[in-house]
Structure 1
Amino acid sequence: MTLREVLQIRNVRYFLMFRSSYFARFYYPVFTLLYLDYGLSLSQFAMLNVVWAATIVLAEVPSGAFADTLGRKKLVVLSSIIMFVEIAMIAFVPTGNPNLVFVVFLVNRVLSGLAMALASGADEALAYDTLKEQGKEEAWPRVLQIQLRIASSVGIFVTLLGAAMYDVSFMAKVYSLLGLAEPESTQDIMRIPVYATLLVAMIAIYSALSMREAKKTLPEHGGKIATTLASLKLTQVTAKWVVSTPYVLFILLYYSLFEHTSRMFLTMNSQYYRAIDIPIIYFGLIGAGISILQILLAGQSRRLAESMAPKKFILVMGLATMATYYWISLGWSIYGVVPALLLIFIIMTMNIFISYHLNKQTESHNRATVLSFKGLMFNLGYGSIGILYAYYYKLLSQNYSEQQVEQHLDFLASLSSFFYYFTALFVVISAAFYFKNKQKAIF
């Protein structure tokens, strides 16, 4: 399918708009630095992300089941509204009271996790089933490729501008042109990327409202209570199906490992770039480079995901990821950007592979529920690694002087944990896969 043909399909068109606007957050290039400038510590940052993941774990699968019974559009719309609220909270919170700031960010993480859980699976299920109704489901990898390219194109603009918004010298020139008092530190300008994201959140709301779905018919007897029970029953049935279907179970296990490990590192990439002596103004250029890389290599990612045998694909991606984390752990100045770029390509390719194979094995009636299990397993992993990393970093940092902490030596030393963590779990999952596969071929 061409881009024009894809955009002619209403739900697919607004799915692309929703995904691109939902994740177009101007503060992402400086995500960790933003939290630190609000007055939070790195350990608090890690634990807040554990809260975010835990919220998704609790809400993910029930929300997917409700999407399959009550309607997917309702959950996507609700997700976009909650997203707007959670961003508004940090946009306007006063920073004079550290305890208040922490509480507000805590509520923000809960709402952010809830919004993510509500949208997860529902938006994808809406778009995929629209293709399936038209007999075009084989075009789904092509849609994902287009989505990557659109999101990456938007990402170029967002990351360049977002990082520039956080650079004091750049913003001083902007303020001067506007006749305003020049900012002296990042604390003076840290809300600007958040305000910009708040405006983009309105586009996400519009695209969610613009999706179409056939009205769900509630049971004649019991109304909402019966629907709730039906949703919980669907969750239970789907859970049993996932556990008893090795093909799906191992796809989800590998997905969770690759995704939650990389997400934990990439969430802290601004701290990583600062630790390897990259000036803040270049964070946007790196983000733009990442987006260009995704645009150029999206087609290659799709071809790898579609053409390579699953076992070979997972092995190659696993070894490449191990090598990448080892390279990252070396903490090379400037050149340390290269493995971060490689990691993004690996995860981009892995996500296309997972979505392609998982949707092929899933029926329409419980698609959103199964995709919610995908999010559930990721966030269980993300919550676990967040707790482990926060605890490990706190212990490790005690061995460094205040001056060494300011030089980020403790943070650089903590990066080797990603290599050991990923390698150990990859070996464990692969060993379980090997013995299960010997009993009966999975792929």
Structure 2
Amino acid sequence: MTLKDILQVRNVRNFLIFRCSYFARFYYPVFTLLYLDYGLTLSQFAMLNVVWAATIVLAEVPSGAFADTLGRKKLVVLSSIVMFIEIAMIAFVPTGNPTFVFVVFLVNRILSGLAMALASGADEALAYDTLKDQGKEEAWPRVLQVQLRLSSSVGIVVTLLGAAMYDVNFMASVYRFIGLEAPQTTQDIMRIPVYATLFVAIIAIYAALGMREEKKVLPSHTTKLATTLASLKLTLNTGKWVLSTPYVLFILLYYSLFEHTSRMFLTMNSQYYRAIDIPIIYFGLIGAGISVLKIILAGQSRQLAESMEPKKFIVIMGLATMATYYWISLGWSIYGVIPALILIFIIMTMNIFISYHLNRKTESHNRATVLSFKGLMFNLGYGLIGILYAYYYKLVSQGYNEEQIAQHIDFIASLSSFFYYFAFLFIAISAAFYLMNKKKPIF
């Protein structure tokens, strides 16, 4: 399918708009710094992300089952509305009371996790099944490639503007140009990227409302309670199917490992960039460079994911990821950006690989539920690494004085944990795969 053909499919078009706007967060280039400027600590930041992951774990799979039984569009629309509310909370929260700020961010993380869980699987299932109904499901990797390029193009604008909005010197010149008093600190401007994200959230709501799905009419003898029980039964049956299907199980295990480890690091990338002495104004340029890299390499990622034999692909990606985390742990000034870029390419390629192989092995009637298990396994891992990292960072920071902590030496020292964590779990999963594959070939 050409790009024009893809955009003519209503659900696919709205899927692309929804994904691009849902993740267009202007505060992402300074995500960690934003939390710290609101008055939170790095350990609190890590634990709040654990709460976010735990919420998704609790809501992920049931939401996928409800999407398969009650309707996927309803969950996507509800997700976009909850997203708007959670962003509005941090856009307008007063910062005078640190305890109150923490509580608001705690609720924000819960709502954010709920929004993510509601959309996870449902939007993708809507788009994929629309293609399948038209006999065009083989075009799905092409859709993912288009999504990557569109999201990356939007990301260029969002990251450049988001970082610029957080740079005091740049915003001071903007304020003077429009005749306002220039800001003095980041606390004076820290809400601007959040306000911009709140506006984009409205576009996500519009895209969700624009999706189409055949109305699920309950049989006359069926009650909502019976439908709910059917949803939970579908969840249990899908869980049993995943556990009894080694192909799908190991695809999900590898996905979770690659994704949650990288997400934990990339969530803190603004702190990492600051620790290797990169000025805030350049965060946007780095983010834009990443988006350009995704656009250029999206085709190569798709070709690798589709053409390479699965076992060979996973081994190469695993070894490359270990080498990348080791390079990151060295904390090289300026040149430390390179391994962060490599990591993003690895994860981009891995995500296409996972989606391609997982959708091929999944039936339509439980596709959203299976895709929700994908999110569930990711968030279980993300919660685990969040707890471990928060505890490890606290231990590491105790060995440094205030001056060293101000120079972020303790943070750089904590990054070696990513290499050891990923290497241990990759070897463990691969050993389990090797033993099971000897009995009966999996891939």
Shorter-chain TM band:
over 0.9
Alpha-carbon distance between aligned partners in 1 of 2:93 and 2:71, rounded to the nearest angstrom: 34
Shift of 1:198: 0.2
Partner of 1:362: 362
Shift of 1:217: 1.9
Partner of 2:64: 64
Contact 1:25–1:197 (CA under 8 A) maintained in structure 2: yes
SS of equivalent residue, structure 2 residue 334: coil
Partner of 1:117: 117
Alpha-carbon distance between aligned partners in 1 of 2:227 and 2:182, rounded to the nearest angstrom: 57
Alpha-carbon distance between aligned partners in 2 of 1:404 and 1:427, rounded to the nearest angstrom: 34
Alpha-carbon distance between aligned partners in 2 of 1:325 and 1:342, rounded to the nearest angstrom: 10
Alpha-carbon distance between aligned partners in 2 of 1:215 and 1:24, rounded to the nearest angstrom: 30
Alpha-carbon distance between aligned partners in 2 of 1:220 and 1:63, rounded to the nearest angstrom: 24
Shift of 1:219: 3.6
SS of equivalent residue, structure 1 residue 112: helix
Partner of 1:308: 308
Shift of 1:375: 0.1
Instruction: Could you list the structure 1 runs, at least 4 aligned residues long, displaced by more than 3 angstroms after superposition.
Output: none
Partner of 1:279: 279
Partner of 2:165: 165
Shift of 1:69: 0.2
Contact 1:219–1:226 (CA under 8 A) maintained in structure 2: no
Alpha-carbon distance between aligned partners in 1 of 2:430 and 2:34, rounded to the nearest angstrom: 38
Partner of 1:139: 139
Most deviating of 26-35 and 216-225: 216-225
Partner of 2:202: 202
SS of equivalent residue, structure 1 residue 386: helix
RMSD over aligned CA atoms reads 0.4
Alpha-carbon distance between aligned partners in 1 of 2:226 and 2:218, rounded to the nearest angstrom: 8
Deviation string 1:45-84 (CA, Å, 9 cap, x unpaired) is 0000000000000000000000000000000000000000
SS of equivalent residue, structure 1 residue 209: helix
How many residues align structurally? 443
Contact 1:24–1:154 (CA under 8 A) maintained in structure 2: yes
Gaps of 5+ in 1: none
Alpha-carbon distance between aligned partners in 2 of 1:207 and 1:170, rounded to the nearest angstrom: 33
Partner of 1:78: 78
Deviation string 1:224-264 (CA, Å, 9 cap, x unpaired) is 10110000000000000000000000000000000000000
Gaps of 5+ in 2: none
Partner of 1:376: 376
Shift of 1:407: 0.2
Alpha-carbon distance between aligned partners in 2 of 1:11 and 1:347, rounded to the nearest angstrom: 26
Alpha-carbon distance between aligned partners in 1 of 2:154 and 2:222, rounded to the nearest angstrom: 46
Alpha-carbon distance between aligned partners in 1 of 2:183 and 2:32, rounded to the nearest angstrom: 20
Shift of 1:223: 1.6
Partner of 1:251: 251
Partner of 1:437: 437
Deviation string 1:311-336 (CA, Å, 9 cap, x unpaired) is 00000000000000000000000000
Contact 1:252–1:374 (CA under 8 A) maintained in structure 2: yes
Alpha-carbon distance between aligned partners in 1 of 2:396 and 2:322, rounded to the nearest angstrom: 22
Alpha-carbon distance between aligned partners in 2 of 1:223 and 1:351, rounded to the nearest angstrom: 38
Alpha-carbon distance between aligned partners in 2 of 1:90 and 1:171, rounded to the nearest angstrom: 20
Shift of 1:218: 1.7
- Report the TM-score, using the length of structure 1 for normalisation: 1.00
Alpha-carbon distance between aligned partners in 2 of 1:99 and 1:3, rounded to the nearest angstrom: 49
Contact 1:219–1:227 (CA under 8 A) maintained in structure 2: no
Read off the aligned partner of 2:250 and give its amino acid letter: F
Shift of 1:221: 2.4
Partner of 1:212: 212
Alpha-carbon distance between aligned partners in 1 of 2:218 and 2:293, rounded to the nearest angstrom: 46
Read off the aligned partner of 1:327 and give its amino acid letter: W
Partner of 1:294: 294
Alpha-carbon distance between aligned partners in 2 of 1:142 and 1:149, rounded to the nearest angstrom: 11
Shift of 1:12: 0.2
